[in-house]
Amino acid sequence: MRVLALDTTTRRGSVALLDDERLVVQREGDDTRAHAERLPGELVDVLTAARLSSCDVDLFAVAAGPGSFTGLRIGIAAMQGLAVVCGRRMVAVSLLQALGHVAADAREPGTLVAAWMNAHRRDVFSALYRVGSGGPFTSQRLVEIDPPRVDRPDAVWREWRERGAVPHLVTGDGAVLYADMIGQDATVLPPPPLAATIGQVALIRARTHATLSPAGVQPLYVRRPDAEIARDRRNA
């Protein structure tokens, strides 16, 4: 099964093409240009490098969030368009979950791992997982302990510490940004390009028939968009 996967949750993002478990090509984006300028060109470039057309793809996978509101909307819309044209199904993957799978790689069951993304405004998007006994990229591999949330990093860390749930490893750009605060409590792992991981998760879900129609893909914002907050203030 050929899977085309896209991550636009950060300004750089990435695109990957997989043929079953084999990674054919993965490329990071040009963070000097906005996603609106780069897509769908970056997708086409990856397909061209693999000598394929968009309709040679069997499944389209996209990062559902959290992340940049504009980046999420553009990325999801681009993949929805390709899926509709080619009559294909989709899989939407939480980027926090993708980071959790990266952190869980080669870890023993029972290990606590966490994902921290830079949410700006001195906040992080976070999630906490326990490594399970399932195979790589399966739902049994990650047991959610703390669901996706947005908060100040010190508040998240203090809560985890008080619960006796300090992770052994934290990955993501938020973990790198606040590495000094984490200190010696946990290992900080810089995040790799995540499109390939998104593709691997999507492949597993497709094999269990857990796919979506293009219209069924919804963004995972975690934080409410500023436009909604401003609207509620005006209405109040």
Q: Which two tokens stand for residue 81?
A: 């368009």
Q: Which CATH class is domain 96-189?
A: alpha beta
Evaluate if residue 180 carries a pLDDT over 90.
yes
Report pLDDT digits (tens) over 67-78.
989 999 999 999
- CA neighbor of 137 nearest in space, from 217, 220, 20, 27: 20
Q: Are 95 and 63 in contact (CB under 8 A)?
A: yes
Q: Enumerate the CATH 3.30.420.40 domain ranges in the chain, comma separated.
A: 2-94+193-235, 96-189
What's the rounded Cα separation, in Å, for the pair 63 and 220?
Answer: 9
- CATH fourth-level superfamily of 2-94+193-235: ATPase, nucleotide binding domain (3.30.420.40)
Evaluate if residue 11 carries a pLDDT over 70.
yes
Report pLDDT digits (tens) over 86-118.
999 999 999 999 999 999 999 999 999 999 999
How far apart, in Å, are the Cα atoms of 198 and each of 7, 145, 181?
Answer: 8, 21, 29
Evaluate if residue 184 carries a pLDDT over 80.
yes
What's the rounded Cα separation, in Å, for the pair 122 and 22?
Answer: 38
Average pLDDT over residues 28-52: 94
Write down the mean pLDDT value for the chain: 95
